[in-house]
Structure 1
Amino acid sequence: MVFWFREDAGIPLYSFDVRGKPLVEGRHWSAPQVFGPRAYFRTGREPATLILKDIRRHDQGTYRCRVDFRNTPTRSFRYNLSVIVPPEYPAVFDKWGKQLNTTIGPHDEGDEVTLTCRVVGGKPEPAVRWLVNGIVVDEEFEHNAGDVIENRLKWRAVTRKDLNSIFSCQASNTQLSEARETSVVLHLYLRPLVVNIISKPSKLIADHRYEVTCETGGSRPPAVITWYKGNRLLRKVREESGDQANITTSTLSFIPSTEDDGKTITCRAENPNVTGLYVATHWNLSVVYPPIVSLRLGSTLNSSDIKEGDDVYFECHIRANPQWRKLSWIHNGELMSHNMSARLILINQSLVLQKVTRSNSGIYSCLASNNQGETLSNEYHLRVKYSPTCRNDRVMIVGASRAESLDIQCQVDADPPARSFKWKFNNSGETFDVGSERFSSNGTFSVLRYTPIADLDYGTLSCWAENNIAVQGVPCLFQVVAAGKPYPVRNCTLGNETTSSLVIWCIPGSDGGVKQVFVLELYVGGATTPRFNVTATETPYFVLTDLEMDVPLKVSIFSVNSKGRSAPVNMEEITLKDPQKRTGEGADVGTPPLLGIIGGAAITFLLIIVIFVSKMRMSNHNSPAMQCKKPTPPTFNAKQQVKDADERDPDIIPAKFEPRTQAEGPAPYTQGKCSWSDSSQTFRGGGDTREGIELNGLAIKEKLMAGSLPESCV
């Protein structure tokens, strides 16, 4: 029989009875108010043991085991049971008293971390200590109110290496069981450590798109990357975060402009949770582009006050990367070159024009180039003001009949336009001003209404204009002569002859002072009536088509003006033949015209000398009744080679003052002979507007203005 007692109590709290039974059939009894089902006496092993489950604090004490035998004395054993009460799990608090469950922070680098570990209960009294990453760092604890024990840890100036450190608080009062432990992990805000722009080109081409990447690492949480050009934030970026080493990348897409050359691109990485701390890298841009060119007039010049004789300079402002290597200057579409004799000087990026004339007016530009291309500047229109000059610097022959009113136009070139005109008349006897009521004017021309009545009304009219620059230096001259019938054409030539067509051209004769036209009549066979006629208004040039072969043709050409018609010039026995029948003619075509041209040139040269000597002799006489030859008609320049072989006797051409066809305006007018009488002149309204033909040469103007030679006899 086995009995268990507590202390010195006389009543057992557990019994095991095997009286009269086998050991395995023994009867167990446990006092319900003490152990109840928590106790069990195990006899299957040596020694026999009372096993207590779910031991409790009040189970602590001294227990006595008494064994009664049937034939031997009773034996007793004493056991002291000490019950250890473990403490509660530690609770961790920050310096503000907030309980921490799993993490500390986040804290900034350099912060001081203060942690308090609080443990309640435990018997015997537990020991409370701090471990960091498994290493004991603080074992000093203190009692608080009641059965509360605390251990306060101060971790000064946390650094990057403390990130994710495990701070553990352990409470233990026995080695029979593991210590009670609570752990928290330190979280930190970390600034980025490095930032780099990768794959950046050394040179950028303007107006091309580029993508560059900026990479940063070391930040926690991942850094925010911003891009700047100068001080301006760039927004077209694409950002990515990596998992390793807190790597963050950002890709910038941008199109550099010419203005970006020399500017700085900045990539800045920062942790927004770390105030004021960031890292940045800079990239100085080198943008290559064709020259940017701007043309300006010299800064010391007034563009509205440039006149002939002034010095002018232009400045070509160039911005280019790489540096420009060639600079060209352009005037009215033509390249300019350095020419000291023409007073055109090129210096660095300047164009100097010395003593400019009206020919320097026009559009200027400069062209600069480098290895990226070439650029033409803006156009600058240079206006060079000048005093009036005759639009045509030759003496104009105007033909008029007596009592015929005509309007004579004096046209000048001037900038600014002329503000006034004056006219003078000169004949062999006198020179006088023409009243302003006789003519009307605007900025470019003046029109004089003139009516010759008597012989003395034929002479020279002079016209001057004046603008804000100066008075016209050399007047415009008009020789008023008596109008008459035109002179016949001459030197008519056949050309471009085919089986059905031919071309005829002639040199016009004097127009008699009135505009003339040219008429060609074609006669077929021996007919006396023309088959058709053709009129040419400017020059005697005729193209005849749809003609018959092997039929004799006759051509009659004459000039016509308002005074009548000239004598005809006839070309007879013209027959268009089959080309096979004319094969032998080709060798003789070129020589006769060539001989005619050479002979005409020789005769012309001799006549120039004769006329010049005659004029010089005539200049020594001042007779109002002098007679003079008619001026020669305009010379016609054929557009194709002369092939006619029948020209044997060309007219004699006076060559001292050889007139030329006018470039514009109505056809010229001349007279045959001129004479002077003592009749007075008269101005009347009404009539034609005439400009006359041109006589070339300043010598004739000097003679006319000198008064020693009658102006009408030129």
Structure 2
Amino acid sequence: MWHRSGRGAAWSSMAMAASLVLLAHGGSGGNYFAPVSKDDDRWGTLVAVTAVRGSTAKLPCRISSDNPSEPVLLVLWYKNASVTPVYSYDSRGLDGRPSSAGRPHQWGDEEAWGVEQRAWFDTSLTPAHLLVRDVRGQDEGKYTCKVHFRASPSWSQRVTLTVNDPPGFPRIQDGSGHRLEGPIGPYGDGTVVRMMCLSSGEPPPGLVWGGSGVELGKTTEEERVGAVARTWFTILATRATADTTITCSTTNASVSSGIMNTVSTTLKVNLAPLTVQLEAPGEWVSAGQQTSFRCRVVGSSPPPVVQWWLGGRRLTANAPLTSVGGNVSVSTVRLTPQPGDHKVPLVCKAYSPNLAGSVLQDQLILAVHFVPVATVNVHGGGSEAATVREGSIITFTCHLQANPSVYNITWFHNGRALRGWAWGVEVNNATLRLLNVTAAMRGLYTCVGSNPEGDGQSNALNLNVEFAPVCAVQQRRHYVVAPGGAVTVSCQVEAYPTGLTFTWALKNDSEGSPIRLHSVGREEGLTGHYTLRGVTQKSVEVLCWAQNDAGTQTTPCKLTVYTQGRPGPVRNCSVNSHTASGFRVWCEAGPPRGTNTRYSLLVYTQASLIYPERRLLLYWTRHSIS
């Protein structure tokens, strides 16, 4: 379930976006491009261009470098104090070099040039020109052309564009004479905006104010001074008057509609957001799955700056800010939450770019469902390995982090599940107790926690059990030596720790007591060795005991050494794997069961009238029979 915090407004001074500092270069030729030094930048002289409303304005910009063979890479046009370009000419390829295929890409800002794209950068002219067709009063302003090359220095050209109105055409301006056409402002909330509309002619035309904002302002009666007619309009910049349109039209009674020409302006007001609302796709999200969150901002003008934060980490919105009508803006971020993001606040902050003194924000506490994260450790110990003495009691704990909660915990020993009681094991949900530790209990212990999101397996904790040596099951137990010869026997045991010392003894017959053999008592591994010399008995039994820090072996390992003599018959024979094509005979070798003993098997077929009785003689040799 999401947890929503209260919204607040608290923000310190915000740094506005800074424009990229670009080097500029001026060149020779004509009055347009006499170079002017300005620090480390290279600039052309300021060029003044005048155009009549409705005609095509031509704004010059030289795009050749000091190296005639070096083509231009990028041209950016800026208007007034904007830090974002209103037009670009890009001839770069994917590698950043001049593109050899196709035509350079040209782009114009629709807000500046409209959807009909009235601007075009013509490089066929010398110098190149930005052509603005059907020029309007709102195109008037100061332009900067910044030209970039691959190796040569960049340079800039400044151009001012003045638009002259034809006789009888209205003009809206402020008290200083600056034209007010198209979007104007933005003004601070509560600012009184006073504008004048004027037109000239013989006789001077009539002037009338109109538009959606005319009822919200105050009109001053028209006056005539010579051939010029003037009228004033005053409006208060507020949230109610933001984005209203104000028009001024010339009138003439001889025209059927009364209206001859019209200019318009749109009032822009700096407004802080009214509401910020963070929208989640549901009550919870799954870890590892990408999820989209939306932040809806109402009331900001210009469109707001939106920031996303997850805890103390800044996120990047995955799509441009979109307007869904009026002054409602929506920002979207795609997030792939992790288990550690559970209960972490996701915050959306929004503020008007021109009103950085306050901010509105909304936040949600993330509810992340994730597969259990399990960790096994020894009670009071670590989570990698543990060592205990045989016969001890040890407790393991399965620590779980999960959302939603786990409904089952399963313990495993060397990959096999442990349930309930088994060979001294007590399982109780997140706790596993080994009541009487034996050597068979050594190995890897893991736990698995299950919830609706899946099964989460823990680390593997290795349990080492210290136990006294015992005889290894698989080892050589019979040796053959020539009478009077020497033989080295091996005693293999299982034990931990593995640093062992061995004790040896001989037993010549079943009734006698073992005779301890002299040994140096050196430390060996899990296999001890002893060399018998001058063996003359037909058979002798060798006993061995091992000792480590956990104790001494209680039952010795028994090895038998035979001297070479006439072999005894096989015994305990059995026949199996009997099929139509053959059978298998197993026999136990007779004493002394040494090497290089050869046995013969005689197989007889059944007598018949067709075939006389046949005998099959098979030989095989058994080596190191035990």
Common fold, TM-score beyond 0.5? yes
Q: 1:106 aligns with which of 186, 203, 214?
A: 186
Deviation at 1:153, TM superposition (A): 13
Q: How much has 1:328 moved relative to structure 2?
A: 0.9
TM superposition shift of 1:189:
0.4
TM-score (norm 1): 0.49
Alpha-carbon distance between aligned partners in 2 of 1:238 and 1:306, rounded to the nearest angstrom: 59
Q: 1:322 deviation in Å?
A: 1.6
Given that 1:323 and 1:370 are in contact with CA atoms closer than 8 Å, whether structure 2 keeps it comes out as yes
Instruction: For residue 280 of structure 1, report the CA deviation from its aligned partner.
Output: 2.2
Shift of the 402–113 alpha-carbon distance from structure 1 to 2, 3 Å rule, reads same
Report the Cα offset of residue 100 of structure 1: 8.3
The separation in 2 between residues aligned to 1:90 and 1:213, in whole angstroms, is: 43
1:369 aligns with 2:450: yes
| Correspondence 1:421 to 2:379 | no
C-alpha deviation, 1:483, in angstroms: 5.3
Residue 160 of structure 1 aligns with which residue? 239
Q: What is aligned with 1:264?
A: 345
Q: 1:673-698: per-residue Cα shift (whole Å, max 9, x none)?
A: xxxxxxxxxxxxxxxxxxxxxxxxxx
Alpha-carbon distance in 1 for matches of 2:267, 2:572: 119
Q: Partners of 1:458 and 1:469 in 2: how far apart?
A: 34
Does residue 306 (structure 1) correspond to residue 388 (structure 2)? The answer is: yes
**Structure 1 residues 443-487: Cα deviation after superposition (integer angstroms, max 9, x where no partner):** 1222211135555x9654332222233333333233556554333
1:513 Cα deviation from its structure 2 partner:
4.4
Native 8 Å contact 2:272 2:301 kept in 1: yes
CA 393–425 in structure 1, closer or farther in 2 if over 3 Å, else same:
farther
Aligned to 2:625: 667
Structure 1 residues 551, 490: CA separation in 2 closer, same or farther (over 3 Å shift)?
farther
Q: Is the 8 A contact 2:217 2:233 kept in 1?
A: no
Aligned counterparts, 1:599-618, within 5 A = none
Q: Which residue of 2 aligns with 1:203?
A: 284
1:279 to 349, 360, 364: 360
Residue 359 of structure 1: how far off its partner (Å): 0.7
Q: Where do 1:256-655 residues align within 5 Å?
A: 256-300=337-381, 303=385, 305-339=387-421, 342-392=423-473, 402-427=483-508, 432-436=515-519, 442-453=524-535, 460-480=541-561, 484-490=565-571, 492=573, 501-515=581-595, 519-521=599-601, 550=611, 552-555=613-616
**1:312 CA displacement:** 2.1
Deviations 1:314-345 (A, max 9, x none): 22222222211111111122111221x73312
- Structure 2 stretches of 5 or more lacking a match? 1-169, 197-212, 221-231, 248-263
Alpha-carbon distance in 1 for matches of 2:445, 2:235: 80
| One-letter amino acid of the structure 1 residue matched with residue 432 of structure 2 | L
- 2:308 maps to what in 1? 227
The separation in 2 between residues aligned to 1:419 and 1:277, in whole angstroms, is 77
What does residue 29 of structure 1 align with? Answer: none
What TM-score comes out, normalization by structure 2 length? 0.55
Q: Distance in 1 between matches of 2:344 and 2:524?
A: 59
Give the corresponding residue for 1:606: none
The aligned counterpart of 1:251 is 332
> Aligned letter for 1:385?
E
Q: Which moved more, 1:303-312 or 1:485-494?
A: 485-494
Counterpart Cα distance in 2 of 1:489 and 1:218: 104
Alpha carbons of 1:239 and 1:165: their partners in 2 closer, same or farther (altered >3 Å)?
closer
- Distance of 1:135 and 1:358 partners within structure 2: 93
Unaligned runs of 5+ in 1: 1-88, 118-131, 140-151, 169-182, 527-548, 563-665, 669-714
The percentage of aligned residue pairs carrying the same residue is 23
Q: CA deviation at 1:373?
A: 1.8
Q: Could you say if the C-alpha distance between residues 206 and 551 of structure 1 is closer, same or farther in structure 2, counting changes exceeding 3 Å? A: farther
Asked whether the 8 Å contact 1:262–1:287 carries over to 2, the reply is: yes
Determine if contact 1:486/1:560 at 8 Å carries over to the other structure: no
Q: Give the Cα–Cα distance (whole angstroms) in 2 for the partners of residues 164 and 220 of structure 1.
A: 9
Helix, strand or coil at the partner of 2:409? strand
Q: Distance in 2 between matches of 1:136 and 1:206?
A: 56
Task: Evaluate the alpha carbon distance shift between residue 357 and residue 524 of structure 1 in structure 2; reply closer, same or farther with a 3 A threshold.
Answer: closer
Residue 174 of structure 2 contacts residue 195 of structure 2 at CA under 8 Å; is this kept in 1?
A: yes
Secondary structure at the aligned position of 2:278 is classed as strand
Give aligned pairs, total: 416
Q: Mark the CA change 1:554 to 1:333 in structure 2 (over 3 Å): closer, same or farther.
A: farther
Look up the match of 1:658: none
Write the distance in 2 (CA, Å) between the matches of 1:508 and 1:431.
28
Q: Distance in 1 between matches of 2:342 and 2:586?
A: 70
Which has the larger displacement, 444-453 or 320-329?
A: 444-453
Distance 1:485 1:333, change over 3 A: farther
In 1, Cα distance between equivalents of 2:216 and 2:540: 132
Q: Which amino acid aligns with 2:394?
A: V
Contact 1:395 1:476 in 2 (8 A): no
- Displacement after TM superposition at 1:389 (Å): 2.0
Query: CA, structure 1 residues 113+135, in 2 after alignment: closer, same or farther (shift >3 Å)?
Result: closer
**Superposition pairs for residues 27-106 of structure 1, below 5 Å?**
106=186
Residue 259 of structure 1: SS of its match in structure 2? helix
Q: Give the root-mean-square deviation of aligned CA atoms.
A: 4.7
CA contact (8 A) 2:386 2:463 kept: no
Contact 1:488 1:508 in 2 (8 A): no
Displacement of 1:274 in angstroms is 0.9
The question of whether the paired residues in 2 share the 8 Å contact of 1:462 and 1:478 is answered with yes
Partner of 1:628: none
The answer to whether the 8 A contact 1:483-1:513 is kept is no
Q: Which has the higher strand share?
A: 2
Task: Give the whole-Å Cα distance in 2 for the aligned partners of 1:509 and 1:432.
Answer: 29
Is the helix fraction higher in 1 or 2?
1
Shift of 1:416: 1.8
User: How far apart in 1 are the matches of 2:217 and 2:617?
Assistant: 138
Q: Aligned partners of 1:90, 1:239: CA distance in 2, in Å?
A: 36
Cα separation, 1, equivalents of 2:344 and 2:429: 28
Q: 1:561 to 1:377 in 2, by over 3 A?
A: closer
Alignment CA distance shift 1:441-1:221 (3 Å) = closer
Give a deviation string over 1:369-399, Cα, whole Å, max 9, x none.
Answer: 2222223323232221222222249995656
